[in-house]
Structures are given as structure tokens and as C-alpha cells.
Chain A
Amino acid sequence: MVKVRGVSKKYGGKMVVDRVNVDIAKGKITSFIGPNGAGKSTLMSMISRLITKDEGEILIDDKEIGSWKSGELAKKISILKQSNHINIKLKVKELVSFGRFPYSQGKLTKEDWIHIDEAIAYMDLGSMQDKYLDELSGGQKQRAFIAMVIAQNTDYILLDEPLNNLDMKHSVQIMKVLRRLVDELGKTVIIVIHDINFASCYSDYIVALKDGIIIKEGTTDEIMDSAVLKEVYDMDIPVEIIGGNKICVYFR
């Protein structure tokens, strides 16, 4: 379980994340939603120790994030940010194999290769595993990075806007994979997501942030409600049930 207790982050005098408390349950997909500048990505970066918090504590499996050894934590929690520009020439397979670094420190064992091949199969990258990253399309690249995170085989997987710049087909494909990671492998997935309807269709729990604080959290069913969403986004969002899913029709 990830417990966030009174965590704040200040940038140049402005509170970006303001004394946030939240528990993230194991074996679920939790989505962070909210308008731009709400502090979603900052909160996620603090949970994954990419940036330091100014105050509060973050407990990962009941141990404060600062008292974890970085190398050990890398076997527990993984993060993928939204922009992943790499300026070295790498093949897909090589990139995925980096996911095993926390275990083997660069000297890949047989077991590592099993994980790498599994991750490649999981993301359906078999046919392009020997291609260079700069030969791939945006969606393929994103899948390669997610495969790296899968190879890292951590209990917690944090993804910052994994659907950024992806078309519908690839977005659905990635969300289905995340669902499988949770349902089949028992992982805990936390995502920052802008498309409210993807959050509605795939997540178990939704945390809504605004101006650095959590203004609502609850099961997907509770949050997908016109009154709640109006509070979060300051706009009228009719919610319709289509094919058993709650869908927001906010386009006009």
C-alpha cells in the first residue's frame, strides 16, 4: 500500500501540492484526474522519488520513501514520465533490458531474459524488438517504454499520462494491458490521465485533484457524477451510461 501523509511541494513560493493525504490500494488501477496545473504529475513524481517533497511522508509498504535504498525501491515501484526522449541509439530489446538493471546491475542473467521476453510479448513488440527506437512511431515507442517498466517487475507501476499523443487504437491497447497487469499479475497501477472517459472505463478508483489539493476521491462510480465533476473541472459534464460504462459527454 502507498500512503501519502501531509505531502507538500512548493515551487517559487507557490504551493503546487498542498498537504495531500491519500491511500492507494493494492491490486487496483487508481487514476489521478484534474485540470491542468492541479499537481497530479508533481504528486506522482514525489511518490516515485523523482523529485523531493518539501514536507510530509510517503510510505511505501509501511516504510518511508527516504529510508528505502534507491536500488531496493526500484524493485518495488517504477515510474514512466510522459516525455521520454532518449538521445542514444537503442534497440527496443536493449531498452526493455534496462528494466532489469535493479536486479542484475547490467549483467543480465537467464532469469532476466525470461522477464525481458515476457515483457516484449506482453506489449506485442515481438516483431520490432530488433528495431531502433528512432525508427518507431510514437505509439510503438510508448509501448516499448511500458515494456521496460513491465520488465522491471515492480508491485507498483506509475504512469504519467501514458496515452499522451496516442491514437484511439493504441490508447485502448495500452489501457487493456494495464488492466491485465492488475487482473492477471496483481500489480498496482497508478496513472495520471486527462481523458476522463478512459479513466471511467478502466480504473477502479479515482482521485481528483485541483489547485494542489484532493477535492474528491472515491470509486469510479462515485466520481463519475455530474455534480462531482463540475466541482473538479468547473464545467457542466453530463454523464451518460453507454454500453454499461459511464461516459462524459462534455464536447459541446
Chain B
Amino acid sequence: MSAASNRGPLVTLTAAALVGVGLLSADALTDPARTRAEAPASAAATTAAAAPAAVTTSTSAPPAATSATTTPAAAATTTTSVTTGAAAYPAEAVYVGRDATRRISVAVAVRDGKAAAYVCDGKSLESWLTGTVSGTTATLSAGSDRLVAELDAGWLDVTGTVRGRAVHVRAKLGSEPAGLYRLSRTDGTTIGWIVQPDGSQVGLETQSGRVAPAPVLVPGQPVNVQGEAAYPKEVSGDDRI
């Protein structure tokens, strides 16, 4: 070929590499795992001075710890969880994960010392739990269902019993669209969705005891429930469920 002593391909390759590195840097610099610890401080200040002590300290104390647990260097040492396990919950966050068999999904939302969780297998099993946060432990319940969510080096270790079944899930800090979504209608229909960081989702719809698969959720967009458009809400830890 008469190919090219020209520099075009090299320029293209270099430009692509630079843009790629730039985008990765932008991701790293704006990662909420770094900024989240600072942002809720202002939100907490405006909402309530009456926030529990555990939360107010968490906004100021753990920025270094929370960002450290998600950096690549620290990720390689997640097994040495004891050293970084002391980090407290962010003022507001949602953790999502699946159990080892990938059958049961769990999402735990925390906010200002309160926690809300949803356990769902996408077929028949589901449970909404609420509870409180103390230090690195959130304790949730609903009827005889119990969950304990323990922070462990950036992971959330969720163990408990739901509908008589043992649940054990390692959940990760999620950001939109990953998270926990809920739709509660006046006719008694309740729909819950857990959206995983990889975009997959599970959900169930219940109406007067009948359980059905949830319609597909596109976060930020309405879903069709019995012919009407309805807007699911992202669940926050202090929501009343």
C-alpha cells in the first residue's frame, strides 16, 4: 500500500488515549465516594441540626476513609478489612448487591441515622424492612424478618432472615441509576425495584397479597401501572415504608 508516512494514525491513537485517560480522571475526581462525604454535610446542615450525633460525625470524619476504600490501591487490600473497617456510614447512601447464588437481591438505603431495605428474588420473595443506624451497623426489621448490615471496608455485609430464609449478601455502594426504587399507590399497589450497578434489575409488584413481576423500570421515567403512568421514587433511608 502507499500507506502513510503520515502522522494521522498516530495522532488518532494518541488523541484517543488522551481522551480516554481524561475521562477516567474525570470519573476518579468526581466519584461520589470522594465527594459524597462532603456533599451531605451541607444537606444535613440545612435539614436538621437535630440529626443524630452518629451522623453528624460521619459527615466530617470519614471522607478519607470512604474515598480510600474505593481507590484501586485500597481495593487490592480489601481482604485486610479490619484496618479500614472503622469507617462509618455516609449521611446518605444506598448499597445494592446479590447473594452468591444471584437469586436474592438486597438494597439498603441509609439516611440520617435511619435505614430502609428491600429484599427481593424477582419471583415471589420480597420484604421491606426499616431500622436504625448505629456506627457501622444498621439493624432492620419487618415482622419476623431481620437484617443486620455491617460496613466492612467499603462493602456492606448484609445478613439475616427473610420469610424464613437465610440471607447473606455483600452489597456495594451504588449511584444512580443503581439503587432502590419504590412505587406506592393509594389503591394498595406497591412495587419495589432493585437496580444493580450493571444495569440489571429485579422487582415485584404486590396488590392485596397478590405478587406479580414488576414492570421494567427505567430510572427517571414513569412506569405503566394498570394503564396509568406512575412515577417510582428512589427510596431514602428515612422513608416511611
Task: Answer yes or no: do A and B interact.
Answer: no
Residues of A in contact with B (beta carbons under 8 Å apart): none
Residues of B in contact with A (beta carbons under 8 Å apart): none
